[in-house]
């Protein structure tokens, strides 16, 4: 019998509110006094969450407290960082780690989602939001660049013209435009945002977990790895018990429906 997963110690976090369930972990960025700006402590705590999810894969939902996702990196700390800090990739390292988590990551966005906060959202597999979402990268206005993922992830998400508008001209997208360019995929009222995030997590959780994990890995594989990686991954899944069980369940349901349809047809003839 497999050992039970060690639970995250929710009381051990100072900048995050953490709730762990059987198939998911919910993390709420919780520095409302600075609009959930991402500081070193939050980065360290996100690393702790990632370490847990790498060992015990679950869906991750990330949201922000008090009607804001994250207003960016903590400017007070950012102002003091120098070349060696930039070369450490403090924020980019944690966002890459989040993007590479085994199971999907859902970002539930509300209010400001700027700078490092936007880059955290770009690292997620899914982004849903509210009508008040304002998402963008104003880094060039502060004399720096968006170096924690936006400079390469954003064009993959929205295309080069919109990405350049955001990165070079500081455009901040409202929810309706973010939806139109597929930067977010759903808009919900604030009171329904977390329910929508959990609804999406429920749909993911209803799939076979191993198939989801492997599909995510194959999806993000470099172009030159295909189609070999697809074939190798499929070979693994073809041998999994879940594949046999789930396909048998599908066939059984199909057989029952066919029988019921035939019975109904015969009953109609008798009348």
Q: What is the pLDDT of residues 61-94, one digit of tens each?
A: 999 999 999 999 877 887 788 888 888 888 999 9
Whether 74 and 198 map to the same domain: the answer is yes
Whether 160 and 245 map to the same domain: the answer is no
> What pLDDT is stored for residue 84 in this prediction?
86
Q: Does residue 196 carry a pLDDT above 60?
A: yes
Domain tally, the chain = 2
Q: Does residue 44 sit within a domain?
A: yes
Q: Does residue 2 carry a pLDDT above 80?
A: no
What confidence tens digit (pLDDT) does each residue in 28-44 have? 999 999 999 999 999 99
Residue 239 pairs in a beta bridge with none
What value, to the nearest 5°, has the Cα angle with vertex 183 and ends 181 and 186? Answer: 100
Q: Does residue 265 carry a pLDDT above 80?
A: no
* Domain boundaries, position 246: 209-270
Can you state the angle between helices 160-169 and 150-158, rounded to 10 degrees?
140
The DSSP-derived string for 26-71 is: EEEE--GGGTT-B-HHHHHHHHHHHHHHHHS--EEEEEESTT-SB-
- Contact status, residue 53 vs residue 18, Cβ threshold 8 Å: no
Q: Does residue 1 sit within a domain?
A: no
Which of 183, 205, 227 is at the close of a domain?
A: 205
Total-model pTM: 0.92
What confidence tens digit (pLDDT) does each residue in 125-168 have? 999 999 999 999 999 999 999 999 999 999 999 999 999 999 99
Confidence of residue 6 (pLDDT cuts 50, 70, 90): low
Strands 59-64 and 24-29: parallel
Whether 106 and 221 map to the same domain: the answer is no
Whether 187 and 237 map to the same domain: the answer is no
Which of 184, 205, 226 is at the close of a domain?
A: 205
Confidence of residue 3 (pLDDT cuts 50, 70, 90): very low
User: Rounded distance, CA 134 to CA 137, Å?
Assistant: 10
Q: Does residue 65 sit within a domain?
A: yes
Q: Does residue 4 sit within a domain?
A: no
Average pLDDT, the chain: 93
> What pLDDT is stored for residue 134 in this prediction?
98
Q: Does residue 4 carry a pLDDT above 50?
A: no
Whether 233 and 190 map to the same domain: the answer is no
Strands (E) across the chain are located at: 16-20, 24-29, 59-64, 105-109, 112-114, 126-129, 134-136, 172-174, 186-187
Whether 88 and 26 map to the same domain: the answer is yes
CATH number at residue 198: 3.90.226.10
């Amino acid at each position: 019998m497999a050992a039970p997963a060690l639970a995250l110690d929710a009381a051990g976090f100072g900048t995050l509110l953490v709730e762990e369930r059987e198939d998911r972990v919910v993390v709420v960025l919780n520095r409302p006094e600075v609009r959930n700006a991402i500081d070193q402590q939050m980065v360290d705590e996100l690393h702790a969450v990632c370490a847990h999810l790498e060992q015990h894969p679950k869906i991750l939902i990330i949201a922000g407290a008090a009607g804001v996702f994250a207003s960016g990196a903590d400017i007070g700390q950012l102002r003091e960082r120098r070349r060696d800090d930039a070369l450490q990739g403090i924020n980019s390292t944690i966002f890459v780690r989040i993007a590479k988590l085994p199971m999907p990551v859902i970002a539930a966005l509300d209010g400001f989602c700027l700078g490092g906060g936007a880059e955290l959202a770009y690292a997620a597999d899914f982004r849903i939001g509210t009508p008040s979402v304002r998402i963008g990268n104003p880094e060039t206005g502060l004399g720096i660049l968006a170096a924690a993922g936006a400079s390469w992830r954003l064009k993959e998400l929205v295309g080069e013209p919109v990405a350049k508008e955001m990165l070079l001209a500081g455009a901040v997208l409202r929810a309706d435009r973010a939806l139109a360019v597929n930067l977010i995929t759903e808009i919900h009222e604030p009171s329904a945002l977390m329910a929508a995030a959990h609804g999406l997590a429920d749909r993911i959780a209803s799939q076979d977990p191993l198939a989801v994990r492997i599909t995510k890995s194959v999806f993000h594989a470099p172009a030159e790895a295909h189609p070999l990686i697809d074939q190798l991954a499929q070979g693994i899944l073809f041998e999994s018990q879940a594949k046999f069980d789930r396909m048998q369940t599908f066939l059984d349901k199909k057989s029952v429906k066919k029988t019921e349809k035939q019975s109904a047809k015969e009953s109609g003839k008798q009348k």
